[in-house]
Structures are given as structure tokens and as C-alpha cells.
Structure 1
Amino acid sequence: MTTPAGPRRAAVLGRPVAHSLSPVLHRAAYADLGLDWTYEAIDCGEDDLAAVLAARAGWAGFSCTMPLKHAILEVAVEVAPLAAAVGSANTLLPHPAGWLADNTDVAGMVAALAEHAVAPRSVTILGAGGTAQAMLAALVALGVESAVVLVRDPARTSGVRATADRLGLTVTVRPLEPGASALGADLVVSTLPRGAADPLARWEWRPDQTVFDVVYDPWPTALAGAASARGARVVSGALMLLHQAAVQVSLMTGREAPVDSMRAALDAAAPGSGL
């Protein structure tokens, strides 16, 4: 696969999106690869998505963050098999008839855990949104066959249950409570928004546990800080961000992503983010 000639444009879509570090990562990759490409952040909600894409039909691709991870499946003319299995996507790529939706979050999660040599036997996921759905696929890639999902509203788990069924993964849904016994799993993954997992910091974390928090700003989160203080291994969402962006760069440019350059740029833009 060759890189398209000439200047190209790409962007991250979401709301809010001004805080996104995706431009830092993608621009660093383009500079390293010698590409005259641009990458920007575009404020876009679900109701705006179709119009935003229609006005940018010739662009090289889009990274998509909340609240668009389910909406882009509806506007895409084709959905990659992994994104279809997950039921959530974070990437739009050019397609002859429109856009192809794909998911690089799964690869980002697998790579982030691999950097810390995490090989869990038991897993608990906090939250049941699109990121939690991607985490289920990452667990399958790691050879995990079951997981507990802790949620604030058990009635809103149809998506994560459907993902588990498609992946052949056994999922047990329980209430998200500070004293939930499932917090004692080998690997605890928080896919909750900033601050939502803070009450769980009081759990008596153990050195043989790993806590993976997809939030990376601020870092450490209250959850990660408490787990680290008790000797647990912690994995920052910044690693997931780095590796999922690297896969996006490869998909959009057709070139191998310069991960080291992207890591250095992210570390400079967000020092102390857990890279």
C-alpha cells in the first residue's frame, strides 16, 4: 500500500474535542514520515456528523472520539469486521462509496497491556460504553474467556452484552460499588469518564493486581494513584492513545507508524501522563 501523493487532510472529530492530543500524535507522525499532511480537531456531535463528513469527502480519514463511537457505524457505508464485532468504532477511512468505519482502540489496548506484560486470569471492567466494548475484544486477543462488568445502571448494558455474545465471551454484569468483590480481579480496567472512578480508590489494592485507567489527564488519576501506592501495577490511558493512533496513521497513510517519534511528542505535550 502506497501513500497518496500530495498534501492530504485528516482530523479528530468529537465533542468536546479541544483537549484532544490526537493532533500532537498524528502531526508528529507526518513530520517523521516526511508527509505534507495536516491534522486538526473539529468539534462535532452526533447530529452534525453527516454534514461534517459530507463537506470533507476528499479527506484522508478521521479519528472519532466521544460521543461518536457508535454514531459512525450508522454513517459508514462499510464496517470493518472488528468494528462490527465490537459494536463500536473510532476511525473513518475513505471508501469508494463513502466511509469505512474501523476500530483501533482494541489494538491500542492490547499494545498498552503488552508493554507491561499483563497476562490476567481474571478481569473486571468498569463501565459499559464503547471503550468497554473494545476492551472485551482486547481480552479475547489476550486469551481471556470471561469478565465481570461493573456498571452504575445495569439496565444500560445491552451493547456490552451484545458485544460479548458476538465475541463468544462470558460476561457477568454487577453494580458498580466501592466495595464490589470483583475489584479484586487480576486486571481492573476503568473505562469510566474522568472522576467517575474516584470513589473506588479506597479499595485495598494488592501488588499482584494491575489497574488500567483509560483516563490519562490528570495522571495519575485518584484510582491509579491509590493502586500504585499499594504496590499494584498501573497502566495509563496515554499508552492506549499512543498505540491506537499509530494504527490509525498506518491505515490512513499506508506507511508504518513512527511510534517512537509519536511517543516523544506525546510525552512532551503531556509530561507525566504515564507513558
Structure 2
Amino acid sequence: MRRVALLGFPVAHSVSPTMHNAAFAALRLPWRYEAISTTPEDLPNRVVALRGSDWAGANVTVPHKVAAARLVDRLADHASLLGAINTVVNSEGTLVGYNTDIGGFGADLAAHGVDVSGRSAVILGAGGAARAAAWALSEMGADLRIVCRDLSAGREIADILPSGAGMGVQVFPWTEAGLQSASEDAALVVNATPMGMSPDFDGTPWPKSIPLPREAFVYDMIFNPLRTTLVEAALAAGLRACGGLGMLVEQGALALSLWTRSMPPRGVMHSAAMAALEKQHAQIPYSR
């Protein structure tokens, strides 16, 4: 039996095991996907273990996407420039890092009809997910505005983006003034932080004192809960908005194709992820 892991901290909220195990079953593969709670201190040993012959690879999630990129043997495609990965493939003992978040995010934006070419897009955060969003949006021709607490991390993202892509990158401090300046006339707001992720249902990266941009599409990369506080606030303001379930499925499908070299059953994966989320939420009372 081949194994695939999800390495992150925390991982209890994840529906990836349900989603991928349903896909393996649909493909009639005797594989197992498991979530492994992995602290930053544990990460190096967990990655080394993936070299074992029973491991096909892994997904990497918060907060390890940048750190894991330094632990694999080789970075493929955009990951070599991006410096962040979410997928590891064990190729006969050689660990290769990929970033399927870029394609997953871009595909889901397209599915929602979001066009940012020649327009401003605000990214909240400067971690691994923000890097993927920045790369995807720059390829779409967006004017990027990164809002983050660590300005040097934001500038690092600006430095790694391909020259000539997009319209430019500006970095703003995570303050009310910074958010207001960054969001002026924005066509898209992306939450690339874990703020609002289960079990922090009431968390949000956007202060109530600042109105959301009037014509923006609000995209929260968080998939659990299905509707975060940020998404609900955007919908209440009459804006179009969505959570990250579509991105989860698409990046997972791209990762699955790398591990198995099979066509991923996207419909099966989406249905399994949705059912797992609905089951979780039926068991957890909301505080809002």
C-alpha cells in the first residue's frame, strides 16, 4: 500500500484525507492518505521519512510551505523561484517539491469569472499561500498590493516574481491606514492568512471599521468553514465572494496527478470534501 501524508500544524480541521481517499477508491488504487500533525521542530524528520518506499509523497500546509521547500532534494517548475511548496513527490527516494496552489488558485478564480488583468488585487499575508497567489495574479496581469505585518516578507515576494509579469507590486503595512490605501479601487481581495480558519470561526483579517472595496471580489483561501466571517461580511455588503474549497479541490487534483499519474476524479473529490465539511459543521456549534 502506498501512503501519502498531509504535514501541517494544525491539521485536525482538514478534509484532505477524506477527499483524497475517496479519489483513490474511485481510481481503485490501494493507497491511503493521512493527516499528520507536524510542528516546525518535527518537520525535518517528517520530510526525511517520506523517502521510504511506502511513501508516494505528501501535501504540505500551514505553516510549513516555505520551510519544506528548503528540505526537499529538488524544486520543480515555479517552486524553484517561488521558494514555497505544497506538494512533495517521492521519486525513487528523491524528494521533489511542487507548488500546485498556483494552478489551483488560478483555476478557481477563472471558474468564478474573476478578471484582474490591468486591475488591482490585494493579498493579505506574506506566507507560502500568499506567494502562490501573488505568482498566479502576476501572471494574470494584476497590479499587486501585499498587506503584511513583516514588510520584508512582502518585499521578498515582490523580488521573486518574474520580471515583466503583472503591473507591479506594492507592499503595505498591516494597519488600518495600510489596508485603506491598499484596497482603494481594488478588484480583488485575497485572504492568504489562517485568520478565520476552524476552530477560530469568528476570526477575520479585515477590521469592521474599514469598508471592503465597493467593486471587489473577495476570495478567502480558507475552506473550513465554508463561509468565513470575511466571506459573510463581503456577501452582506453586496459583494461577490467565496471560500477556498474550489482551490482545495483543484490543487489536490493537480497533486494527485503528480503522485499517481492518473486523471484525478475532480467531481468525486469535490463531493467528498463538501460532505466532510458539512459533517464537521453539523457537529460543531457556531458562535456567530
TM above 0.5, yes or no, is yes
Q: Note the C-alpha offset of 1:122.
A: 1.5
Q: Distance in 2 between matches of 1:132 and 1:34?
A: 35
Work out which of the residue numbers 202, 217, 221 in structure 2 matches 1:214: 221
Q: Distance in 2 between matches of 1:48 and 1:153?
A: 25
Select the structure with the greater relative contact order (CA < 8 A; seq sep ≥ 6): 1
Q: Note the C-alpha offset of 1:166.
A: 6.0
Change (3 A) 1:260 1:79: same
Partner AA of 2:259 in structure 1: M
Change (3 A) 1:197 1:153: farther
RMSD, matched Cα: 2.2
Q: Distance in 1 between matches of 2:279 and 2:176?
A: 27
Work out which of the residue numbers 115, 122, 125 in structure 1 matches 2:111: 115
Q: Distance in 1 between matches of 2:251 and 2:128?
A: 14
Q: Distance in 2 between matches of 1:229 and 1:64?
A: 33
Partner AA of 2:25 in structure 1: A
Equivalent position of 2:81 in the other structure? 85
Range with bigger deviation, 154-163 or 106-115:
154-163
Number of paired residues? 266
Equivalent position of 1:4 in the other structure? none
Q: Note the C-alpha offset of 1:97.
A: 4.8
Contact 1:87–1:159 (Cα < 8 Å) also in 2: no
Contact 1:92–1:100 (Cα < 8 Å) also in 2: yes
Q: Distance in 2 between matches of 1:255 and 1:103?
A: 18
Equivalent position of 1:15 in the other structure? 9
Range with bigger deviation, 45-54 or 263-272:
45-54
Partner AA of 1:61 in structure 2: G
Q: Note the C-alpha offset of 1:201.
A: 4.3
Range with bigger deviation, 82-91 or 153-162:
153-162
Q: Deviations over 1:217-269 (max 9, x none)?
A: 23422221111112111021111111111111111110111000111111111
Contact 2:147–2:171 (Cα < 8 Å) also in 1: yes
Work out which of the residue numbers 175, 178, 185 in structure 2 matches 1:177: 175
Contact 1:29–1:262 (Cα < 8 Å) also in 2: yes
Q: 5+ unaligned residues in a row in structure 1: which ranges? A: 1-6
Equivalent position of 2:144 in the other structure? 147
Contact 1:150–1:174 (Cα < 8 Å) also in 2: yes
Q: Note the C-alpha offset of 1:138.
A: 0.9
Mapping 1:248-259, distance limit 5 Å: 248-259=255-266
Contact 1:190–1:197 (Cα < 8 Å) also in 2: no
Range with bigger deviation, 130-139 or 198-207:
198-207
Partner AA of 2:104 in structure 1: G
Mapping 1:1-275, distance limit 5 Å: 7-56=1-50, 57-58=52-53, 59-120=55-116, 121-144=119-142, 146-164=143-161, 168-169=165-166, 170-178=168-176, 180-183=180-183, 184-195=185-196, 197-205=204-212, 208-271=215-278
